[in-house]
């Protein structure tokens, strides 16, 4: 029996899903698979696990598992459910990529979908679970899709074994045909239960004109108007990324200041300044060892996984939530005259940011009532669209945009683009205004623009490369990935491209060539996983980087390889400083900082041969310096590093070290976050190791004498692209322009720029 507090009990009773408890539980008892649809806020995530628990699931040795596509949701929801049930967090727990509080007592386990995928690799039948809930299935994240495909096979297998497993798929929208009407997935159509949410009417107001690009400014003006003119009620604003969220928060706080106690922090800052110079000296002083020139790495000397052994804390793939980081194309500029308007402290606005990577304790603030006499204003990315329900929202301001990463299928070139969202998403956003009383949604675009939106967003799996998924599937011994029951299959070309890359990396066995094949024949060839592939699949990073790790134990390079891989996986170590400033004051600050950061990057790029490692040496240097300084927010802020990214790199380094150690105990690496700069020969090994994972990402400089077209001045040629690609002016190799380079990826902004560039020697190229 669950012992809930009276307040919790009262709040629960107001949730529409409570009226459906019996219907839901009966459907679950009678069917192996059930689909549950209900508006955001109807109580799916917080209540269904409780229904199951009270019905006796999770009683003996088995647990209730719930997957979330976002880490935020896994953490907050486990906390909320523990609180509602009056149970400790070792019983209602969470597990995300880096952390968790799961214990032997755990009965309800929230996790990211990547975590469950990893568990399937260890125990295909998921025998620990009696029930699995796939939450937020409408988001159609790649891992959600794969999990549903796998579970569609696991459920009947478990029935055969006499250990039935229940699968519940929960969605905030009714668009579920990809699951229910897909006979390959579920031959028997699962029942669909709809929960009617008590949704109050929301009046939608379209703009007459659609602002050309300054939608942040337009948001600002709209919020000012709402706050000045409309009755009380919280405001929820949808923007596209962290940088925008912060800049709008700043402007709003300046305009409608809310004063609470302020802590002095001057003393602390001084301390860190002292620490930092010492740290820098220490890093620079530690001289690299001298060694012979241009040694060669042995490409066959990799570590391979002993059969039947896995790694504990692996989460497949890389998340790039909300395209965090690169804000190249965002115009934060300001179009109106509002900056001159008087700030007004008689109308305090309690402004809170909300986005995936925000620290959990800061996220939790949005659930608490604002200080009395203030109005709540949450400035969010699309996390607030469906994963989290913020109480008391009466006004929604929707910029109508979303930031997405786009990939070119053929070349792999990617770009972050802010694009119009879908009609379904815009309606979800509007719905947030009608949870507690009738509300209003202000769309900062015209109704004509809205009618041009696509109806639904494309599932993620159709929009990105899939080599990581294919490798994970091969590791599950799914040989013919084309036959996998995807809810929405990726294109055959994408699948072939993934297999070809994995063959090139040595992760899959190359099939015997038998003349020219059609695309379909090619896709049906069977290429099983190699021992190296198994090792690679055991690392929680993309296959290219996993290959580098597998080669990394040679010549004492492992700690550097781990750091480089961690840095490349986390992405965007540096704050974006090439953005237009908000005002003159910020302009000065930005300029000063940029100068300083450039100087630091020069130091981190090293001297002599170390420079050949290019941007990767800068990464090593930045991580090194950061660790020597004790990794403080102040150090990061002053040097243009993203504190969050640096923290993640530290965690990932620890995790990768554990993974490598369990794989080859003979190496037995001790994780020390502080490291000496690599020696000259190590630099050369590192360049080759990096190339082993990025063998198809090689570019050759166009020499002046080859120049026919000015567009190719200082440009590089890559095998796949017709167009010139460039080294970014911020890169440490921009002044050198080596003849041959290897790059992490190409990001298209104003030009096609290579990111993560390192120089290589032509004789290394096969």
Query: What's the N-to-C CA distance of the chain in angstroms?
Result: 67
Distance CA 207, CA 229 (A): 17
Say whether residue 141 binds Mg ion (CB under 5 A). Answer: no
Say whether residue 718 binds Mg ion (CB under 5 A). Answer: no
Residue 131: burial class (beta carbons within 10 Å; 0-12, 13-18, 19+):
buried
Residue with tokens 């309606």: 427
Say whether residue 563 binds Mg ion (CB under 5 A). Answer: no
SS3 635: helix
Residues 43-62 that bind Mg ion (CB under 5 A): 44-45
Residue 632 binding result from ligand ADP, Mg ion, none, given CB thresholds of 5 to 8 Å by partner type: none
Q: With CB under 5 A as the rule, give the number of residues binding Mg ion.
A: 2
* Closest separation in Å from C-beta 382 to Mg ion: 14
Nearer residue to ligand ADP within complex by CB, 136 or 322: 136
* Closest separation in Å from C-beta 133 to ligand ADP: 10
Q: Name beta bridge partners: 92.
A: 108
Residue 381 binding result from ligand ADP, Mg ion, none, given CB thresholds of 5 to 8 Å by partner type: none
Pairing of β 698-701 and β 716-717: antiparallel
Nearer residue to ligand ADP within complex by CB, 12 or 417: 12
Nearer residue to Mg ion within complex by CB, 389 or 629: 389
* Closest separation in Å from C-beta 66 to Mg ion: 10
DSSP 695-716: TT-EEEEPPGGG--SGGGTT-E
Nearer residue to Mg ion within complex by CB, 45 or 692: 45
Which tokens sit at 141?
């994240």
* Closest separation in Å from C-beta 691 to ligand ADP: 46
Nearer residue to Mg ion within complex by CB, 44 or 544: 44
* Closest separation in Å from C-beta 55 to ligand ADP: 17
Contact footprint for ligand ADP (CB under 6 A): 15, 38, 40-47, 76, 80, 367, 389, 391
* Closest separation in Å from C-beta 135 to ligand ADP: 7
Q: Assess contact for 741 and 730: CB atoms under 8 A.
A: no
Say whether residue 76 binds Mg ion (CB under 5 A). Answer: no
Q: Which of left, alpha, beta for 359 (phi over 0: left; psi -120 to 50: alpha)?
A: beta
Which tokens sit at 474?
């091969």
Nearer residue to ligand ADP within complex by CB, 38 or 325: 38
* Closest separation in Å from C-beta 169 to ligand ADP: 13
Nearer residue to Mg ion within complex by CB, 45 or 688: 45
Q: Assess contact for 617 and 611: CB atoms under 8 A.
A: yes
Distance CA 318, CA 636 (A): 23
* Closest separation in Å from C-beta 197 to ligand ADP: 8
Nearer residue to Mg ion within complex by CB, 144 or 629: 144
Distance CA 170, CA 285 (A): 57
SS3 57: coil
Element (H, E) at 361: helix 360-364
Which tokens sit at 566?
């961690």
Residue 42 binding result from Mg ion, ligand ADP, none, given CB thresholds of 5 to 8 Å by partner type: ligand ADP
* Closest separation in Å from C-beta 368 to ligand ADP: 8
Distances (CA, A) of 448 to 445, 455, 580: 8, 14, 30
Q: Which stretch binds Mg ion (CB under 5 A): 39-47, 315-323, 333-341, 471-479?
A: 39-47
Residue 629 binding result from Mg ion, ligand ADP, none, given CB thresholds of 5 to 8 Å by partner type: none
Nearer residue to ligand ADP within complex by CB, 78 or 601: 78
Say whether residue 382 binds Mg ion (CB under 5 A). Answer: no
Q: Specify the DSSP class assigned to residue 578.
A: -
Nearer residue to Mg ion within complex by CB, 44 or 222: 44
Residue 367 binding result from ligand ADP, Mg ion, none, given CB thresholds of 5 to 8 Å by partner type: ligand ADP
Residue 43 binding result from ligand ADP, Mg ion, none, given CB thresholds of 5 to 8 Å by partner type: ligand ADP
Distances (CA, A) of 231 to 226, 431, 439, 595: 8, 19, 11, 47
* Closest separation in Å from C-beta 68 to Mg ion: 8
Which tokens sit at 680?
């000259």
- Cβ neighbors of 332 (< 8 A, separation 6 or more) are 216, 243, 244, 247, 579, 580, 582
Binding residues for Mg ion, per CB under 5 A? 44-45
């Amino acid at each position: 029996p669950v012992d809930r507090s009276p307040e919790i009990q009262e709040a629960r009773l107001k949730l529409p899903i409570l009226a459906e408890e019996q219907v839901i539980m009966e459907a679950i008892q009678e069917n192996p698979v059930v689909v549950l649809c209900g508006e955001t806020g109807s109580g799916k995530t917080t209540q269904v696990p409780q229904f199951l628990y009270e019905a006796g699931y999770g009683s003996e040795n088995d647990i209730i598992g719930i997957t979330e596509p976002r880490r935020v949701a896994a953490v907050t929801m486990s906390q909320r459910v523990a609180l509602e049930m009056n149970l400790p967090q070792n019983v209602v727990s969470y597990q995300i990529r880096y952390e968790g509080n799961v214990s032997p007592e755990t009965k309800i386990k929230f996790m990211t979908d990547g975590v469950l995928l990893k568990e399937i690799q260890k125990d295909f039948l998921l025998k620990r679970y009696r029930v699995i809930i796939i939450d937020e299935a409408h988001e159609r994240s790649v891992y959600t899709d794969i999990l549903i495909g796998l579970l569609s096979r696991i459920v009947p297998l478990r029935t055969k074994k006499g250990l039935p497993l229940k699968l519940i798929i929960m969605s905030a929208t009714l668009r579920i045909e990809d699951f229910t009407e897909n006979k390959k997935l579920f031959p028997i159509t699962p029942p669909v239960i709809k929960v009617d949410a008590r949704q109050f009417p929301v009046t939608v107001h379209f703009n007459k004109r659609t602002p050309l690009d300054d939608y942040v400014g337009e948001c600002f003006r709209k919020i000012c108007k709402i706050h000045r003119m409309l009755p009380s009620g919280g405001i929820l604003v949808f923007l596209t990324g962290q940088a925008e969220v912060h800049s709008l928060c700043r402007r709003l706080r300046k305009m409608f200041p809310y004063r609470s106690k302020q802590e002095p922090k001057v003393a602390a800052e001084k301390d860190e300044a002292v620490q930092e110079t010492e740290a820098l000296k220490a890093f620079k002083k530690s001289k690299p060892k001298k060694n012979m020139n241009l040694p060669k790495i042995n490409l066959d000397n990799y570590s391979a996984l002993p059969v039947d052994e896995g790694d504990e804390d692996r989460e497949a793939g890389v998340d790039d939530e909300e395209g965090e980081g690169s804000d190249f194309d965002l115009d934060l500029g300001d179009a109106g005259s509002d900056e001159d308007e008087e700030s007004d402290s008689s109308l305090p606005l309690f402004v809170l940011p909300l986005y995936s990577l925000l620290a959990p304790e800061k996220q939790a603030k949005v659930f608490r009532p604002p200080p009395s006499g203030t109005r709540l204003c949450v400035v969010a990315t699309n996390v607030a669209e469906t994963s989290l329900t913020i109480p008391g929202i009466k006004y929604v301001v929707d910029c109508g945009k979303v930031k997405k990463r786009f990939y070119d299928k053929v070349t792999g070139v990617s770009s972050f683009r802010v694009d119009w969202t879908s009609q379904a998403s815009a309606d979800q956003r509007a719905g947030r205004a009608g949870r507690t009383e009738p509300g209003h949604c202000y769309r900062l675009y015209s109704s004509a623009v809205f009618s041009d939106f696509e109806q639904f967003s494309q599932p993620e799996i159709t929009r990105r490369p899939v080599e990581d998924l294919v490798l994970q599937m091969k590791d599950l011994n799914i040989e013919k990935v084309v036959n996998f029951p995807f809810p929405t299959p990726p294109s055959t070309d994408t699948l072939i491209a993934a297999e070809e890359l994995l063959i090139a990396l040595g992760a899959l066995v190359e099939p015997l060539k038998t003349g020219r094949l059609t695309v379909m024949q090619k896709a049906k060839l069977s290429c099983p996983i190699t021992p190296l592939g198994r090792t690679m699949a055991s690392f929680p990073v993309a296959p290219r980087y996993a290959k580098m790790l597998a080669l990394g134990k040679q010549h004492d390079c492992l700690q550097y390889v781990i750091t480089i891989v961690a840095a490349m996986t986390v992405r965007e170590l540096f704050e974006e400083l090439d953005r237009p400033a908000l005002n003159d004051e910020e302009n000065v600050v930005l300029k000063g900082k940029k100068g300083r950061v450039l100087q630091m990057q020069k130091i981190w790029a090293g001297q002599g041969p170390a420079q050949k490692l290019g941007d990767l040496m800068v990464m090593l240097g930045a991580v090194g310096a950061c660790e020597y300084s004790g990794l403080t927010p102040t150090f990061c802020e002053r040097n243009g590093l993203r504190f969050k990214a640096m923290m993640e790199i530290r965690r990932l380094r620890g995790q990768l070290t554990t993974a490598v150690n369990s794989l080859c105990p003979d190496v037995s690496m001790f994780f020390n976050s502080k490291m000496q700069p690599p020696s000259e020969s190590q630099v050369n090994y590192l360049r080759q190791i990096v190339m082993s994972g990025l063998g198809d990402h090689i570019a050759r400089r166009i020499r002046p004498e080859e120049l026919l077209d000015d567009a190719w001045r200082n440009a590089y040629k890559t095998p796949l692209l017709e167009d010139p690609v460039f080294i970014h002016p911020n890169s440490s190799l921009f002044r050198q322009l080596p003849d041959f380079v290897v790059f992490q990826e190409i990001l298209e902004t104003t030009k096609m720029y290579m990111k993560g560039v390192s120089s290589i020697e032509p004789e290394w190229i096969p």
